[in-house]
Structure 1
Amino acid sequence: MSTLQGDTVDLICLRYFNFTGGVTEQVMSLNPHLVDYGLIFPTGIDIQLPDAPERTQKQVIQLWT
């Protein structure tokens, strides 16, 4: 995929996976060249995305009933 003007890694993750936890790090690992562009990307940078990761549910601990 290619970036849109103003994209950030977390916005790309939200757009394609609907969450950022854990997947943002995977995108950065697959695309070490992104650090050359700073935090906000211009149009047209090619980015490799990981396969859609499974979203894990965190355990909720109820303190009061």
Structure 2
Amino acid sequence: MEQYTTIEGDTVDLIAYNRFGVTHGATEAILRANPSLAAAGTKLPQGMTINIPAFTVKKVNTAARIWS
């Protein structure tokens, strides 16, 4: 688990996107690793140290078949 120190304007979603390239699942993983983080509000205070857990982005095949 790595640690991250928040900067002005940080949100959990933004941190998740910047670190993992996705928010779905990654935001929830960060919140689970930091149980009191949700109480800090939407915009996190600058200088707060939070834990960034290991997270694997699952690839989903989104290709659609138009013809069979």
Gaps of at least 5 residues in structure 2 are none
Equivalent of 1:45 in 45, 48, 63 = 48
Q: Which has the higher helix share?
A: 1
Alignment-derived partner of residue 20 in structure 1: 23
Instruction: Summarize deviations over 1:9-64 as a string: whole Å, max 9, x none.
Output: 100011111111111111000011112211101111111111131333145444x4
Q: Percent identity?
A: 33
Change (3 A) 1:60 1:9: same
Task: State TM-score, norm by structure 1.
Answer: 0.80
Q: Provide the aligned C-alpha RMSD in A.
A: 1.6
* Count of matched residue pairs: 64
Q: Which has the higher strand share?
A: 2
Task: State TM-score, norm by structure 2.
Answer: 0.77
SS of residue in 2 equivalent to 1:47: strand
Gaps of at least 5 residues in structure 1 are none
Q: List structure 1 segments (4+ residues) > 6 angstroms apart after TM superposition.
A: none
